[in-house]
Amino acid sequence: MSTSAQGPKSSENLIPVRWGVLGASDFASKVSLPSMKRGPLTQLAALASRDIVKARAAAQSLGIPRAYGSYEELLGDPEIEAIYNPLPNHLHVEWTARAARAGKHVLCEKPIALSARDAETLVAVQRETGKLIAEAFMIRNHPQWHQARDWVRSGEIGDLVSVQAAFSYFNRDAANIRNRKEVGGGALYDIGCYVVNTSRFLFGREPARAMALIERDPDFGTDRLTSGLLDYGGAHLTFTCSTQAAAYQRFNAFGTKGRIEIEIPFNAPADQPCKIFLDDGSTLNCSSAKVTSFPVVDQYHLQSEAFSRAIRTGGPVENPIEVAVGNMRVIDALFRSAESGRWEKI
**Omega before residue 111 within 30° of 0, cis:** yes
- C-alpha to C-alpha distance for 142 and 140, rounded to whole angstroms: 6
Long-range contacts of 330-333, Cβ-Cβ distance < 8 Å, separation of 24 or more: 330/196, 330/200, 330/206, 330/207, 330/210, 330/230, 331/111, 331/116, 331/188, 331/189, 331/192, 331/193, 331/196, 332/115, 332/116, 333/209, 333/210
Asked about 110 being catalytic, the answer comes back as: yes
Exactly one of 9, 54, 104, 110 is catalytic; name it: 110
User: Which H or E run contains 305?
Assistant: helix 299-313
What residues pair up with 286 in beta bridges, in sequence order?
none
Cα distances from 112 to residues 8, 77, 108, 221, in angstroms, run 26, 24, 6, 21
DSSP assignment of 61-91: HHT-SEEESSHHHHHT-TT--EEEE---GGG
Compute the half-sphere exposure of residue 306: CA atoms within 13 Å on the CB side of its CA. Answer: 25
Active site amino acids: 110
